[in-house]
Amino acid sequence: MQLILVSGLSGSGKSIALNMLEDSGYYCVDNLPATLLLDVADFLAAAGHERVAVSVDARSAAIATLPEVVARLRGRGIESRVLYLEAGTPALLRRFSETRRRHPLVSPQRTLPEAIEHERELLDEVAALGHRIDTSDMQPKALQHWVKDLLSLSGNALALLFESFAYRDGIPLDADWVIDARMLPNPHYEPQLRPLTGRDAPVAAYLEAQEPVQRLLSDVEGFLRRWLPDIVREHRSHLTVAIGCTGGRHRSVYLAERLASAFRGEWLALVRHRALERLAPGDPP
């Protein structure tokens, strides 16, 4: 049986992810107490369910025992993967304001910002169990596609994720390694390149002609090739390399695309462009 555990902060998109999994043929259980996970997994396996998704969050009884429960599931031969969804506090405050829903940990003694931070503390050990997805700037449709891409990967392989971002929006919460590309020549100052992105051929040609850009690309690729085998030996299932520039449109996008292309033949590589995902249809980049 393949078991997907969906956890994370309230308001980060867990319901969206679980609904997507259900639409993809998973048998889904929402808000299951961590103490019941082993028994429920045994029951569903005996009932013939091959793909199961379970949501476990801070409201769950004995959430602190989840790391031990996951280890026991894997010890029984159940392929268990954890998706941990999170978002920055400003994004969560905005979402609760827009939906007018109550945070489950808000109380007369705890304000909404305090409830969000308290939930982060409760889930700190859970966040380290699996792949973290920062949904701060992510639309529901983008989250659905991102979860689909992750789950299409083999559970026994390292998922290598290259993520471009804009420093003005803050460093992504899900980053394992961060590369700063702001010192590189900037296509933004070339009028004919400004409206384009790092995925466009003219921008790529401009950056390929810049020696500092190619030197950084070579250095990062060499660093990754040196250390990825050691990461795999530590039984890591994912690694997120975040590459940032000022606006997240040109340099970081180009580097993420080039690195993903360089590693795709050897590793399972995905690309995500945070700043580009924030653009509404028809907006200039």
**Residues in Cβ contact with 194 at an 8 Å cutoff, skipping those fewer than 6 apart:** 187, 188
Picking from 6, 272, 16, 26, the residue whose alpha carbon sits closest to that of residue 144 is 16
* Beta bridge pairs of residue 273: 164
Determine which helix (DSSP H) or strand (DSSP E) holds 133, and give its type and residue range. strand 131-134
Percent of the chain with pLDDT over 70: 95
Residue 142 vs residues 14, 72, 147, 181, 274: alpha-carbon distances, Å: 13, 33, 9, 25, 10
Structure tokens at 276: 């580009």
pLDDT per position as a tens digit, 81-112: 889 999 999 999 999 998 888 998 999 989 99
Nearest-angstrom CA–CA distance, 181 and 202 = 19
Amino acid making up residue 205: A
- Give 114: exposed, middle or buried? Use CB within 10 Å, 0-12, 13-18, 19+: middle
Residue carrying structure tokens 């954890």 = 82
* Model pLDDT, residue 232: 80
Which 8-state DSSP code applies to residue 194?
T
pTM (whole model) above 0.75? no
Does residue 282 surpass a pLDDT of 60? no
Question: Which residues lie closer than 8 Å to 120 by C-beta, 6 or more apart?
Answer: 9, 86
pLDDT, mean of residues 6-33: 90
Straight-line distance from the first to the last Cα atom of the chain, in angstroms, rounded to the nearest whole number: 44
CB 91 within 8 A of CB 140: no
The half-sphere exposure of 198 on its side-chain side, counting CA atoms within 13 A, is: 32
Distance of CA 99 to the CA centre of its chain: 23
Confidence band (pLDDT; 50, 70, 90) for 279? low
In the chain, ranges of CATH 3.40.50.300 domains? 2-152
Is the pLDDT at 280 greater than 50? The verdict is no
Helix (H, G, I), strand (E, B) or coil at 159: strand
For the chain, give the mean pLDDT.
89
pLDDT tens digits, one per residue of 129-164: 878 899 998 888 888 888 877 776 544 467 899 999
Identity of the residue numbered 230:
D
Identify the residue whose tokens are 């520039």.
245
Instruction: Return the higher-pLDDT residue of 183 and 66.
Output: 183
Fold of 2-152: Rossmann fold (3.40.50)
As a whole number, mean pLDDT of residues 38-61 equals: 87
